[in-house]
Structures are given as C-alpha cells and as structure tokens.
Amino acid sequence: MSTSSVTPSCEFDERPLALRLLSEVSPESQPFTFTPSPADPADPLAPPPESTHYDRDAENSPDIDLEDEKPHPYLLKFGPWWHFCSAGDRMLHKTRILPSAAAVLMPVTVLFVLTSVEANWIQAGPGYNGLRLQKATGYIVGNAIATALAFISALTIAMRQVDAFRNHFSLRIALFAQVLVNTLLGFVCILVGALYQRNFINGRLVWISPEYPCIYVGACLALLQVVMLLVDFATTPNFNMRGHGYGGVPMQAAIGLANVVAIWTGFGSLIFSSVEDRNFWHPYNSCFNAWVMLITTGAAVLNVQTVNSKVFVFFWLPIGVLIMLVFCCCFGIGCVQRFDEKPLRRIRETEDRLRSAYRELRRAGRLNKELASLLHRRIDSLQTRLQYFQDQRLRFFAVLFVAGVLFKVCSWLVGSVAFTLTETNWSYWESMFFLFLNLLTVGVQGMVPRSASGMPIYHAYTFVEILSTAAVDLILFHILWNLVPWPRYQTMAKSILASVTGKLLRRHHAATADLEPEHAAPEASLASVPPYGAFSQQRAADQLDDAVNVAAQLRDLLAQKSASQSDLLEFDRLLQAAERHIDDIRLSEKKNA
C-alpha cells in the first residue's frame, strides 16, 4: 500500500480530530509507510513482511552494529546555549587545535610587536634619561614594516573564515598567505631587534642590552604560528574539504575579539607611557599594567599619577573589561566544544538509535510479540551503551579538571622555589604565601618582587596563573552544569533518605509493630527512572507523529473504500488516545518549564 504526503483534505471535514493532528505537522515531514501483513490483510496495524532483522546473538552486547538504521529526522536538542549544541552537530565543521591556537596567538604577537615599536619609537626620539638613538630612520621604517605585517597576518586569519573568499580561492591559498606573512614578520622582528641592540647613542657606539625584548617574543610567536600551520597542513587529509578549522561560532568570535583585545591593550599602553612622566612607565611596564587591568577588572600593578591618565581610565577600562569578559566566555566555550566534540557525537548517535528503536517498538511491536521482545532487548542494550558514553564523558572532563588543579599546585610549589632563589630576603614560606595570595586575588597582592630577575618571573607566573585559573573554573562550571546527572543523584538521595527515615520510624514504632503488624511503617521503595525519561522533551512530537501516521493510513483506507466499521472504531480509539497523551505531555512540560 503506497503512502502519499500528509496534507489537509476535504475528506476529513467530518473528522476534526484528524484534521487538527494533520494541521500540526509540517508539509516537509513524511509519514512512515504502513504495509498490511499477508497473513491478515484486514489488520492495518500488522507489521510489514520485510521488517528489520535483529541479531539475536547480540542482545547482551552494548556495541551491536546499528548502521542499517537512519537517525530520526527530529534532531535532539540538548538545551540552551550552555549545553554547547553545536559541538555535537555533525553538519558543522570540526575544530582543529593547531589553526585555532595559531589564530589565538596572533593577537599576542601583534601586542608584543606594538609594544616593541612603541619602545623603539620613544628611544629614537627624546629617549629615556637623555639617551637618544642615532640614525633613527631605519628603526622607524623597520618598526612600521613589522606593524604592517602584524596587522596583515591578523587579516589572513579572517580570510579563512569568510565564505565569499572560499568561493573564489582555496584554503591552501589562505594557508600560504598566513605562512608567508608570519615568516616575513618573524625575520623582520629579529632584524629590527638585532639592529636595536647595536647602535649609536649620543654619538658613541655601544652595545645595548635588550631592555625591552618584546620584539624577540613577537618574532618567536610568529615563527611558532608558521610551524603550527605547516604541521596542520601536513597532517590533515583533504585539506580543502575540512573547513577553516576554527570550529563553531564561539571560537570564531573569540579569535576576532582576541585581536580587538590586543589592539585595545596596545592603545592603553601607548597612552599610559606617553602621559605618565615617571621613568618606570616605559612601554613594557605600561603594556603589562594595561593587560593586568583588563584581566583583573581594574586592579593595577602600577598606580596612575597624572590627572589625564585617571580621566583616560574612566572610558578605557569599562570598555576593555567588557570586551575581555566576552572574549574569555567565547574562547572558553570554544575550547570546551573542541574537547566535547567526540564524546557528544557518540552520545548523540546512540540517542538517535535509541529513539529509532522506541519508535519501531511503538509501531511494529504492538501485535508481534517476538519482535517486541527483540526490540526490548535492543533498547536495554542501547540504554547501557548510552549510560556508558555519558559516564565516559563525565570522567574525561573530571580528568581534565584534576590535571588543571595539579598543574596549579605544581606551579605554586615550583614558583615558590624560584622566588626563594631570586629574592634574598624571602624565605620559602614567604614565597608560598606570596604566590598563594597571587593565586587567590588573580594577580593582585601587597608583596612585589624587588630583584631584577624576580620581576620577569612574577609577570610570567601571573599571566600563566590567570589563564589556568580561568580554564579550571570553566571546566568545573561545565561539569557541574552540563555533565553531572543531578536527577540520578537526587533519586539516590531520596531513596537513601526514605530508607533511613523508614528504619527510624520502624525503630520508633517497634513495640507498636510487634502488637499490630498491620500498622507498621512500610518499607520505602526505590524510585525508578522512567525508561523514556531521557527524551521527555520529545515525547509530544513522537506521539504527534504516530497520530499523523495513523490518520494517513485511515485516509488511504477511506480513499480505497476498504475500511470496515471495526477499523474505523480502532482508528478513532488510537487517535483519541494519542490526543490525550499529547495534551498530558504538553501540560506537564509547561508545568516543568
């Protein structure tokens, strides 16, 4: 019996229930085919003769092969944005680590290059403490080239994300542009730094120690990006067909906001170093102070002294803190999506198969007891497999969280040893106390290293601790909000509480129970989880789809004039039952919402 598309028709004017059910379904959805059994042609709900064959030997194995089934057209929704829906969607491009890391490192490279340019520019002009570089034109040109290459390299990242660019060029061209620009940037930065070290100061040839080594850090980061991009290209099969590699929308937004944060930090560093008249407000300290102010939402390492700097902070800091918070949120969600792609994809595939098995049980297993038994065993196997994947996903992120905590503890102990060696008047316990305050206050405390070798360690330690603390907090939030099965734990807690309460009540009424056993407190029964509870948000759609299939089959029977009075009564009973189920489920969902 052929099945046509489900559309409202004048044949159903006398059946308002079928009309209402059919009108709630989109025209794109196609009903499932119902074929009457040859053994009983009058039975419209009999299973088709060529049904899906299930392996009887694999009933106890959770890893049975289910590739012959197609997933249900209704995609499962994992909830609001904090459930990271795009990570499990197989239609989106996956996130690759190397191009994403290279794209995030690019703004840091721009920031270091801008800081070095600012330092060389000031030294080529009036300079610090009366010292002035001679032949400053070459340094200005070199710094200008480095700045231009840094911004061009940032633009090449956006080239890989724009679909219009991909329509005219391939990803290999974008990769070649990134590698070329970053290579030139690295060599130009090294050349400018080498020329800056050996120069004429006040007419004398001296060897300048790299007081501001930002240009070398920028060169190393640029060359590191080249290596990462080349490794990604060499290890990725079908490079052009794999997408840009930046993952979903959160990671792409984080890459764009990272460039904004770098430019905003460099802008604040330029203003602070130009306005403040103290010697320690050189570009390197100004850049670090601006970065710490954005990270710690206003807490600074250096206190601004002039009125102009204080006025500038009023509009620079709120905008920068807002951009930084949005960047950290997007970058954190993007990283969690990257680590959650494979576990969530496995869970999604298993849920689709479990969903398909439930639907097959409701359709074909009504009258065929043997098929219903096989489907029940299949559902039990899939539920076991789904529970295993969910527990595996939770264990994976728990291991990441423990690794992050151990990393923070090790950095705390190693950092204490480093500050004990660099600071002469600090003991090991004082160093531990200093780093503990630095860890709790995210880089803000009363103690500051005094030695020249301790200050760079302090800057590096603060930067690493801020990033690691943010990562550990994000993983913990993801575990508590998305992964921990709170309903299961609540059920266990309620059962334990009921058991303890029942024992206490039985002990309290022991004498009464001996005399009157019928009045004894009954033993608390364990709460059972409904077998279809994982798909409670989709049961209304399932019942509606079943009702639409029943109505479509009834329409075919009426069109062929082969429906008997008993068939009409049976269909009417099924439609009314489906209507009651839909109304009850929607009412319960509204109450829960």
Task: Find out whether 475 and 414 touch, Cβ atoms under 8 Å.
Answer: no
* pLDDT score of 398 more than 70: yes
* Beta strand ranges found along 169-319 (DSSP E): 198-201, 204-207
* pLDDT score of 443 more than 70: no
pLDDT reported for residue 365: 56
Backbone angles phi, psi at 557, to 5 degrees: -65, -40
Task: Find out whether 248 and 334 touch, Cβ atoms under 8 Å.
Answer: yes
- Centre a 10 Å sphere on the Cβ of residue 43 and count the other Cβ atoms it contains: 13
202: left (phi over 0), alpha (psi -120 to 50) or beta: left
Q: Cα(542)–Cα(586) distance, rounded to whole angstroms?
A: 12
* pLDDT score of 274 more than 60: yes
For residue 34, what pLDDT band results from cuts at 50, 70 and 90?
very low
Q: Cα(257)–Cα(246) distance, rounded to whole angstroms?
A: 14
Residue written as token pair 């070199």:
142
Task: Find out whether 232 and 245 touch, Cβ atoms under 8 Å.
Answer: yes
The three-point CA angle 41-42-43 to 5° equals: 90
The residue count for the chain: 593
* pLDDT score of 559 more than 50: yes
Average pLDDT over residues 409-437: 81
Query: Which of 108, 107, 109, 133 minimizes the C-alpha distance to 121?
Result: 133
* pLDDT score of 53 more than 50: no
For residue 438, what pLDDT band results from cuts at 50, 70 and 90?
confident
Scanning 365-424, the segments in alpha helix (DSSP H) are: 369-422
pLDDT reported for residue 247: 61
Q: Cα(94)–Cα(246) distance, rounded to whole angstroms?
A: 8
Collect all residues with Cβ–Cβ distance below 8 Å to 155 and sequence separation of at least 6.
Answer: none
**What residue spans define the domains of the chain?**
1-30+530-593, 96-246, 398-483, 486-519
For residue 527, what pLDDT band results from cuts at 50, 70 and 90?
very low
Q: Cα(259)–Cα(250) distance, rounded to whole angstroms?
A: 15
Average pLDDT over residues 565-577: 70
Q: Cα(443)–Cα(86) distance, rounded to whole angstroms?
A: 34
For residue 75, what pLDDT band results from cuts at 50, 70 and 90?
very low
* Beta strand ranges found along 196-259 (DSSP E): 198-201, 204-207
The three-point CA angle 4-6-548 to 5° equals: 115
185-189, 337-341, 503-507 — which one is most confidently predicted on average?
185-189
Query: Which of 237, 176, 235, 188 minimizes the C-alpha distance to 215?
Result: 188
* pLDDT score of 504 more than 50: yes
Q: Does domain 398-483 have CATH number 3.40.50.360?
A: no
For residue 76, what pLDDT band results from cuts at 50, 70 and 90?
very low
Read off the tokens for 250: 């959160």
For residue range 315-330, list pLDDT tens digits in order: 888 888 888 878 777 7
Tell me the three state secondary structure of residue 206. strand
Average pLDDT over residues 540-553: 64
Report which residue type is found at 499: S
For residue 197, what pLDDT band results from cuts at 50, 70 and 90?
low
Between 162 and 286, name the one with better pLDDT. Answer: 286
pLDDT reported for residue 42: 40
* pLDDT score of 95 more than 70: no
Query: Which of 323, 255, 262, 260 minimizes the C-alpha distance to 287?
Result: 262
Report which residue type is found at 261: V
Task: Find out whether 548 and 21 touch, Cβ atoms under 8 Å.
Answer: yes
Q: Cα(303)–Cα(289) distance, rounded to whole angstroms?
A: 9
Report which residue type is found at 321: V
Between 195 and 127, name the one with better pLDDT. Answer: 195
User: Bridge-partner residues for 206, per DSSP?
Assistant: 199
User: Bridge-partner residues for 205, per DSSP?
Assistant: 200
For residue 138, what pLDDT band results from cuts at 50, 70 and 90?
low
- Centre a 10 Å sphere on the Cβ of residue 500 and count the other Cβ atoms it contains: 11
For residue range 173-184, list pLDDT tens digits in order: 777 777 888 788
Q: Cα(380)–Cα(532) distance, rounded to whole angstroms?
A: 11
pLDDT reported for residue 507: 55
The three-point CA angle 506-509-512 to 5° equals: 125
- Centre a 10 Å sphere on the Cβ of residue 14 and count the other Cβ atoms it contains: 8
C-alpha gyration radius of the chain: 34
Tell me the three state secondary structure of residue 520. coil
CA 290 distance to own-chain centroid? 28
pLDDT reported for residue 14: 42
Task: Find out whether 181 and 153 touch, Cβ atoms under 8 Å.
Answer: yes
Q: Cα(546)–Cα(31) distance, rounded to whole angstroms?
A: 9
* pLDDT score of 79 more than 50: no
Between 79 and 399, name the one with better pLDDT. Answer: 399
Quote the mean pLDDT of the chain. 64
Q: Cα(579)–Cα(380) distance, rounded to whole angstroms?
A: 28
Residue written as token pair 């954190």:
332
pLDDT reported for residue 164: 57
Residue 124 belongs to what H/E stretch? helix 97-124
Read off the tokens for 271: 């203003």
* pLDDT score of 476 more than 80: yes
